[in-house]
Homo-oligomer: A and B are copies of this chain.
Amino acid sequence: MSERIFGEINGISIGTTFESRKDAAAAGVHKPLQAGISGSKDDGADSIVISGGYEDDSDSGDAIIYTGEGGQDEKGRQVEDQKLARGNLALAKSEIDGLPVRVIRGADKKNPFAPEVGYRYDGLYAVDSHWHEIGKSGFLVYRFKLVKLDSELPPNKLAKEIELISFPAGSDNPKRTIAMSQRIIRDSKLGKKIKKLYGYKCQVCSLEINTNAGPYAEAAHIKPVGKPHNGPDRPENLLCLCPNHHLMLDKGVYMIDDDLSLIGIEGKLTKHSDHDISIDHIRYHRLMFN
């Protein structure tokens, strides 16, 4: 079996339209011929097709509220509750692991963001969240919020949901304002490998966070990636951490000594025998804060 491909498919640019599901499958953008969700609970979901089949779907282009699968009869009527299983669980796994999902829109006259004909590849989305609710049918449905990712155009979500702030001095009527900061959790194939190696347990505190889509951990870079540090996205620069110990590493609340004992907090880093941790990167991080 060929490996499941997350992210862009070589040679298929955004906007490429396919005549049929079969053509889209042959190109590798969405392999199943029937199912709306491509994926498995262990890998996560790599692509979805939106084609107006669910009465509860909502599409605003850059953000999609996508209804999970299951519980419909052959006429597409919702006749029973959905479960967090199969495709739904795969989408939730992509959320938890931070994996990108290819979105393919099928022709749908009711959706202004859908193509006139055929199936169009519309780029990569992140699964922001999932929850369940009672759908229009009266049955329980799973819902997924997807937001557009784009290496050219950043997630428009950001443009829309950030309200920036002004408290004019002396104003009786300050504008409503939300300040924000953002933390980007990068998650690479290597990150997933490191997390699996540690069973998603934090290397500092051994905490395991169990969500309904599986365990959650973060792959943290010791030497920061991005300018000006330019730390590599390599196993020897990665740790499997809980969100608390990830933040504390990034903010210099603790550092790591050459023998992996911690400086600033009690404890010692757990290390798997298959995981080489770079002493150089640990020292770089120490010099940033110590």
A positions within 8 Å CB-CB of B: 2-3, 5-10, 28, 58, 60, 63, 65, 95-100, 124, 126-127, 129, 131-133, 143, 145, 149, 151-159, 161-171, 176-189, 207, 209-213, 216, 224-228, 233, 242-244, 246-248, 250-253, 287-289
Instruction: Give chain B residues whose Cβ lies under 8 Å from the Cβ of A96.
Output: 251
Instruction: Give chain B residues whose Cβ lies under 8 Å from the Cβ of A244.
Output: 207, 209, 242-244
Q: Shortest Cβ distance from A199 into chain B, in angstroms?
A: 17
Instruction: Give chain B residues whose Cβ lies under 8 Å from the Cβ of A8.
Output: 164-166
Q: How many copies of the chain does the oligomer comprise?
A: 2
The distance in angstroms between the C-alpha atoms of A251 and B65, with both chains bound, is 16
Instruction: Give chain B residues whose Cβ lies under 8 Å from the Cβ of A179.
Output: 6-7, 97-100, 186-189
Decide: B165 and A100 in contact? CB cutoff 8 A. yes
Instruction: Give chain B residues whose Cβ lies under 8 Å from the Cβ of A212.
Output: 251-252, 289
With most chain B CB atoms within 10 A of its CB, the pick from A170, A187, A188, A213 is: A188
The distance in angstroms between the C-alpha atoms of A248 and B207, with both chains bound, is 12
The distance in angstroms between the C-alpha atoms of A229 and B61, with both chains bound, is 18
Instruction: Give the contacting residue for A178; candidates B2, B124, B155, B187; CB below 8 A.
Output: B187
Q: State whether A166 and B7 are in contact (beta carbons under 8 Å apart), knowing that A126-B180, A185-B182 are contacts in the complex.
A: yes
Decide: A253 and B158 in contact? CB cutoff 8 A. no
Instruction: Give chain B residues whose Cβ lies under 8 Å from the Cβ of A127.
Output: 181
Instruction: Give chain B residues whose Cβ lies under 8 Å from the Cβ of A209.
Output: 244, 247-248, 253
Instruction: Give chain B residues whose Cβ lies under 8 Å from the Cβ of A169.
Output: 2-3, 5, 28
Which 7 pairs across A and B sit closest by C-beta, in order of nearness?
A98-B181, A7-B165, A131-B288, A154-B158, A243-B243, A10-B168, A154-B154
Instruction: Give chain B residues whose Cβ lies under 8 Å from the Cβ of A182.
Output: 126, 155, 182-185
14 contacts between A and B (CB under 8 A): A3-B169, A10-B171, A99-B181, A100-B180, A132-B288, A133-B287, A145-B227, A149-B164, A155-B158, A158-B184, A161-B225, A161-B226, A177-B188, A178-B187
Closest B-chain residue to A205, C-beta based? B244
Instruction: Give chain B residues whose Cβ lies under 8 Å from the Cβ of A183.
Output: 182-183, 185
Q: Shortest Cβ distance from A285 into chain B, in angstroms?
A: 9
Decide: A129 and B250 in contact? CB cutoff 8 A. yes
Closest B-chain residue to A190, C-beta based? B178
Closest B-chain residue to A127, C-beta based? B181
Instruction: Give the contacting residue for A2; candidates B2, B162, B166, B170; CB below 8 A.
Output: B170
Instruction: Give chain B residues whose Cβ lies under 8 Å from the Cβ of A216.
Output: 247, 251
Other 6 A-B pairs with CB < 8 A, given A100-B164, A151-B162, A243-B247? A3-B167, A7-B164, A7-B179, A98-B180, A180-B186, A243-B244
Decide: A228 and B145 in contact? CB cutoff 8 A. yes
